A and B are shown apart, each in its own frame.
Chain A
Amino acid sequence: MMLNLLVQGAQMALVLLLAPLLVGFVRKMKARLLRRQGPPLLQPYRDLIRLLRKEVVLADGASWLFRACPYVIFAAIWVAASLVPTFGAGLMFSWSADLIAIIALLGLARFFLALAGLDIGTSFGGIGASREVMIASLAEPAMLMVVFTLALVAGSTQLSTMAGFLVSSEVGLRVSLGMALFALIMVAIAENGRIPIDNPATHLELTMVHEAMVLEYSGRHLALIDLASEIKLLLYASLIACLFVPWGLAPAGATPEALAIGLAAYVAKLGVGGFLLAVFETSIAKMRVFRVPEFLGAALMLGLLAALLLFVSRSL
């Protein structure tokens, strides 16, 4: 009980502290792959602190919703991230929201982000919001089909139960799981606005999505939104890690040694994930906005096919 509470608290702090590092690591890797020096690894932390200290310049037409949105978005994503097992499955409150609820929490954050984009009444905010909901309208069902597949394999929508089942030896290699993994990666790329869907480094381009919505934010508000999107990237990385490479994950009620091993394994997984993301992003070009539905439609079909295979045959 106490240990679970401790694991839960450590997890909440860990995702908060580790998220900017992951982004810094990916940026560094991308720069190195392009033979650039790149910003220091800790640059995202410095950016956040700098933004937090600055004053907020609020647009004249901003409403109370615009000022409340960063906190709602941050809260929803942080709560979601603290319920995804990272180094140990024995999270105290993992039963309070299953995977469907975690996805819905991310949906809540997106809902408010899109509203914030519309609040000032500028055309950039609108373009970002309308494209974001278009992308989400395909990414979310694809994600839910992945959840269906995993839930049918594991017999549960509860993340810790799922992770516990997937780490056990009775799973083996399954076609459905492979499809689900591909669909999940595609969704993760889209949801985090990575290349080829959106470019996190871009500004002043008509193609941007996420950056267009947060264009009017400044100071502490921008810091919170940036931190939230960094946590979201970490969340998807942890999700893929705990579902598809669950080795090393400390089970519920594990000893401190197991937890330490879990932590080391988790950091290693993040490193590998961040490196793969950097390689993928440097080797591919951004696609046109109306190619995105095809990309996500493929993810949705993969997810549906995976779930269908499980309905038809329980062993695939």
Chain B
Amino acid sequence: MTLIVVLAAMGGLFALTILALAIGRTALGPVVVYGGSLLICAVAGLAALWQLVGGAEAPTATLPLGLPWLGAHFRIDALAAFFLVVVNLGSAAASLFALGYGRREHAPMRVLPFYPTFLAAMSLVVVADDAYTFLFSWELMSISSWALVVAHHETRDNLRAGYIYVVMASFGTFALLLAFGLLAGSDGGYAFAQMRDLPLTPTVAALVLILVLVGAGSKAGLVPLHVWLPLAHPAAPSHVSALMSGVMTKVAVYAFIRIVFDLLQTPVWWSSMLVLAIAGITCVMGVLYALMQHDLKRLLAYHTVENIGIIFIGLGLALAFQAYGLASAAALAFTAALLHVFNHSLFKSLLFFGSGAVLNATGMRDMEHQGGLIHRMPLTAFTFLVGSVAISALPPLNGFVSEWLTFQAILLSPELPSWGLKFLVPAVGALLALSAALAAACFVKAFGVTFLGRPRSKAAERAQETDRYSLAAMFLLAGLCLIAGIFPGVFIDALAPVAKALVGESLPLQSDLPYFSIVPIAESRGSYDGLLVFLFMLVSGSLAAVAIHRLASNRLRRGPAWDCGFPDPSPATQYSSASFAQPIRRVFGTMMFRARETVDMPAPGDMRPARLEVGLRDLIWDVAYAPIVGGIDYGARQLNRLQFLTIRQYLSLVFAALVGLLLVLAIWP
């Protein structure tokens, strides 16, 4: 039943694509496409939720599509149901936002037809039950999102982003293709059910693991495969950026979980170490990159890299615990990772919506020209603030809960017998703690520079509050962030069947506990109650406010800012995004980014203005990518000579090639 609903919904989305081709240019186009997507995704998401909570038998279906001898297999087990909920909730929220935002699109035919296809492709990846359908949907997802990235192709940067994206996406798919090839074995059993039964040698299993890390990791944005992500995500229209960052990266996480936890039955003993090391580095690098940005959307995109790191820390810990048979600890780590998948999809979409609203209101993504938007866009500012608090892992919102669970899982790891892990896990814990603190700094900067202070440009001064649909979408997600933060037990319980299916154990039932508290292991080991913390803060804050206003003073007078007696009327004297990050740039960036500050101070009497220039280098690009790009360029230039030969030279080349091939054939044993 669920599967029929979901597949019908995907059919509906494809139909919307065709409809968009017909009516996309009319005023009705965006309403029909986004309204239709909203309804369809809501239905599909509810069906998946019903499947996840109801815990019915996983429905399967085979359609006569794709390879004739294989067909297209679909199945919704607990894992797929959970990710369907994440994907469709994000899609529905983005569609709601786009009902307002997307109407102002200046090139609707470059967005509307690809949008429903993109949504359908993401859901199809999750329900696919054979490698062919999986890879087909995966490619469809990549290509439709690529089309959306280059929708605004007038800007050179966007074209470059699209180019790098399509190269990295093809590379990732290629790695996944090889991984599935190895999993299918020599008989070519491409259905997932056959792959689970096929025994693999340890070498092949290790190869599959690395290929999956490359394939799914490049889509998710693991360092050092993340380079395309901060270019491509911000280039797309904001609702698509939200989908790519909030949802598509989660589909990549799904691919990793599906293959490593489900299909790959042969354990690889060092897998957890590899994943943990990469994840820890990803965390800190992602947030440091984010701190250095002054483009709001690019900052958010880099921050996605950090959150993917947090998710993979949870998954790595789960792999480690699973490898040594500590099932309940594995369940804790795995649940923490999944909860963070859900939470991140909420607040990252919310923040991208907020950045879209700002982009619409001021026409700029650069934070250095914003400022003071809280006065002109109070509702957007409020939701963005909620998202910022949530993503900075601060109580009582949802981001804290999943990071808290990850910390609790780290605290269980001394039980692991492996020496490598004993050294690695505390280091990863420190990296996670560092990235949590840096994330808060990053969002103080993002919110403070964009929304607070005085406007730094005319456009920021004239900004208007965004439309009602966009606000509805943002308030929906902000509300969910709060609910998931104060009733985390309900969400953890919903994840129980997924953990049960994949790591063989689940966390104890949380919803029976008093006052909606959560106790992952035992109450003496650690418990947290978001509801009570929220209520205590609410009560003590309002008590203080009432008491002070009643008993002491409630008078208020407006006056000019004090600023130690020297207020400067120019808004350029405020702290900007670059100056806010300067201390952190000096502390962490001198090594990581080769950050250099050069001061050009004119001689006395010289009238030219002094200049301070900050140079940052992306070492990962310099070390890992620039040589490859340079090598390809060099090769292409050398081969270019072949284009200008005479006919005699071409003929002798062909002859030489023929002789060479014949020689090879003759010598071949």
CB-contacts of A265-295 with B (<8 A): 289-290, 293
Q: Which residue of chain B has its CB nearest to the CB of A123?
A: B573
The one of A78, A140, A289, A312 in contact with B437, judged by C-beta atoms closer than 8 angstroms, is A140
User: Do A97 and B411 have beta carbons less than 8 Å apart?
Assistant: no
B606–chain A nearest beta-carbon distance, Å: 25
CB-contacts of A248-263 with B (<8 A): none
User: Do A100 and B407 have beta carbons less than 8 Å apart?
Assistant: yes
Interface string of B574-587 (1 = CB under 8 A from A): 11000111111011
CA distance A65 to B451 in the complex (A): 10
User: Do B533 and A79 have beta carbons less than 8 Å apart?
Assistant: yes
The one of B438, B556, B584 in contact with A55, judged by C-beta atoms closer than 8 angstroms, is B556
B521–chain A nearest beta-carbon distance, Å: 10
Taking A137-B437, A137-B441 as contacts, is the C-beta distance between A118 and B449 under 8 angstroms?
Answer: yes
What are the residues of chain A within 8 A of B413 when measuring CB–CB? Answer: 311
CB-contacts of A57-87 with B (<8 A): 57-61, 63-65, 71-72, 74-76, 78-79, 82
A314–chain B nearest beta-carbon distance, Å: 7
What are the residues of chain A within 8 A of B394 when measuring CB–CB? Answer: 104, 107-108, 111
User: Do B429 and A97 have beta carbons less than 8 Å apart?
Assistant: no
User: Do A134 and B583 have beta carbons less than 8 Å apart?
Assistant: yes
User: Do B437 and A141 have beta carbons less than 8 Å apart?
Assistant: yes
For residue A53, CB closer than 8 A to chain B, the reply is yes
Taking A58-B557, A95-B527 as contacts, is the C-beta distance between A53 and B552 under 8 angstroms?
Answer: yes
CA distance A96 to B488 in the complex (A): 13
For residue A130, CB closer than 8 A to chain B, the reply is yes
User: Do B526 and A76 have beta carbons less than 8 Å apart?
Assistant: no
For residue A19, CB closer than 8 A to chain B, the reply is no
B340–chain A nearest beta-carbon distance, Å: 15
User: Do A79 and B537 have beta carbons less than 8 Å apart?
Assistant: yes
Taking A130-B583, A137-B437, A144-B407 as contacts, is the C-beta distance between A72 and B541 under 8 angstroms?
Answer: yes
CA distance A51 to B429 in the complex (A): 43
Pick from B62-70, B368-376, B474-482, B622-630 the stretch touching chain A. Answer: B368-376
What are the residues of chain B within 8 A of A72 when measuring CB–CB? Answer: 537, 541
CA distance A59 to B557 in the complex (A): 9
CA distance A151 to B429 in the complex (A): 13
What are the residues of chain B within 8 A of A105 when measuring CB–CB? Answer: 395, 533
What are the residues of chain A within 8 A of B525 when measuring CB–CB? Answer: 155-158
B176–chain A nearest beta-carbon distance, Å: 35
CB-contacts of A87-119 with B (<8 A): 93, 95-98, 100-101, 104-105, 107-108, 110-111, 114-115, 118-119
User: Do A74 and B573 have beta carbons less than 8 Å apart?
Assistant: no
CA distance A238 to B526 in the complex (A): 20
For residue A121, CB closer than 8 A to chain B, the reply is yes
User: Do A96 and B453 have beta carbons less than 8 Å apart?
Assistant: no
For residue A148, CB closer than 8 A to chain B, the reply is yes
B550–chain A nearest beta-carbon distance, Å: 11
CA distance A95 to B556 in the complex (A): 40
For residue B11, CB closer than 8 A to chain A, the reply is no
For residue A124, CB closer than 8 A to chain B, the reply is yes
Interface string of B500-523 (1 = CB under 8 A from A): 000000000000000101000001
User: Do A60 and B437 have beta carbons less than 8 Å apart?
Assistant: no
CA distance A140 to B426 in the complex (A): 15
Q: Which residue of chain B has its CB nearest to the CB of A228?
A: B544
For residue B204, CB closer than 8 A to chain A, the reply is no
User: Do A74 and B541 have beta carbons less than 8 Å apart?
Assistant: yes
User: Do A121 and B584 have beta carbons less than 8 Å apart?
Assistant: no
Taking A133-B441, A141-B434, A293-B587 as contacts, is the C-beta distance between A307 and B392 under 8 angstroms?
Answer: no
For residue A14, CB closer than 8 A to chain B, the reply is no
For residue B567, CB closer than 8 A to chain A, the reply is yes
CA distance A32 to B580 in the complex (A): 39
B3–chain A nearest beta-carbon distance, Å: 41
Q: Which residue of chain A has its CB nearest to the CB of B399?
A: A104
CB-contacts of A141-163 with B (<8 A): 141, 144-145, 148, 151-152, 155-158, 161
How many pairs of residues, A versus B, come closer than 8 Å at their CB atoms? Answer: 288
User: Do B529 and A148 have beta carbons less than 8 Å apart?
Assistant: no
Q: Which residue of chain A has its CB nearest to the CB of B527?
A: A95
Taking A126-B579, A148-B411, A311-B425 as contacts, is the C-beta distance between A156 and B526 under 8 angstroms?
Answer: yes
CB-contacts of B367-406 with A (<8 A): 371-372, 374-375, 378, 381, 385, 389, 392-395, 400, 404
User: Do B555 and A120 have beta carbons less than 8 Å apart?
Assistant: no
User: Do A52 and B552 have beta carbons less than 8 Å apart?
Assistant: yes
User: Do A126 and B561 have beta carbons less than 8 Å apart?
Assistant: no
The one of B407, B443, B567, B580 in contact with A129, judged by C-beta atoms closer than 8 angstroms, is B580
A157–chain B nearest beta-carbon distance, Å: 4
What are the residues of chain A within 8 A of B454 when measuring CB–CB? Answer: 61, 121
What are the residues of chain B within 8 A of A235 when measuring CB–CB? Answer: none
CB-contacts of B562-605 with A (<8 A): 562-564, 567-568, 571, 573-575, 579-584, 586-587
Pick from A21-29, A34-42, A193-201, A215-223 the stretch touching chain B. Answer: A215-223
CB-contacts of B402-426 with A (<8 A): 404, 407-408, 410-411, 413-414, 422-423, 425-426
B35–chain A nearest beta-carbon distance, Å: 34
Interface string of B137-164 (1 = CB under 8 A from A): 0000000000000000000000000000
The one of A60, A107, A122, A293 in contact with B440, judged by C-beta atoms closer than 8 angstroms, is A107
For residue B540, CB closer than 8 A to chain A, the reply is yes
What are the residues of chain A within 8 A of B580 when measuring CB–CB? Answer: 118, 126, 129-130
CA distance A224 to B540 in the complex (A): 12
B294–chain A nearest beta-carbon distance, Å: 14
For residue B532, CB closer than 8 A to chain A, the reply is yes
User: Do A311 and B533 have beta carbons less than 8 Å apart?
Assistant: no
What are the residues of chain A within 8 A of B527 when measuring CB–CB? Answer: 95-96, 98, 158
B520–chain A nearest beta-carbon distance, Å: 11
For residue B261, CB closer than 8 A to chain A, the reply is no
Taking A76-B537, A104-B393 as contacts, is the C-beta distance between A138 and B437 under 8 angstroms?
Answer: yes
For residue B448, CB closer than 8 A to chain A, the reply is yes
What are the residues of chain A within 8 A of B422 when measuring CB–CB? Answer: 311-312
User: Do A120 and B378 have beta carbons less than 8 Å apart?
Assistant: no
User: Do A104 and B395 have beta carbons less than 8 Å apart?
Assistant: yes
Q: Which residue of chain A has its CB nearest to the CB of B575?
A: A126
Interface string of B519-554 (1 = CB under 8 A from A): 000011111110011001110111011001000110
What are the residues of chain A within 8 A of B567 when measuring CB–CB? Answer: 122
User: Do A58 and B558 have beta carbons less than 8 Å apart?
Assistant: yes
The one of A56, A126, A310 in contact with B557, judged by C-beta atoms closer than 8 angstroms, is A56
User: Do A65 and B452 have beta carbons less than 8 Å apart?
Assistant: yes
Taking A96-B528, A101-B528 as contacts, is the C-beta distance between A118 and B444 under 8 angstroms?
Answer: yes
User: Do A115 and B447 have beta carbons less than 8 Å apart?
Assistant: yes
For residue A131, CB closer than 8 A to chain B, the reply is yes
Interface pairs A-B: 6 shortest CB-CB? A126-B575, A121-B453, A75-B541, A118-B448, A134-B583, A55-B555
Assuming A60-B560, A79-B540, A157-B525, what are 13 further A-B pairs, CB within 8 angstroms?
Answer: A59-B558, A59-B560, A93-B532, A95-B523, A96-B529, A97-B395, A98-B528, A101-B400, A123-B574, A124-B563, A138-B434, A158-B524, A216-B561
6 contacts between A and B (CB under 8 A): A59-B562, A111-B394, A111-B443, A123-B573, A137-B584, A140-B436
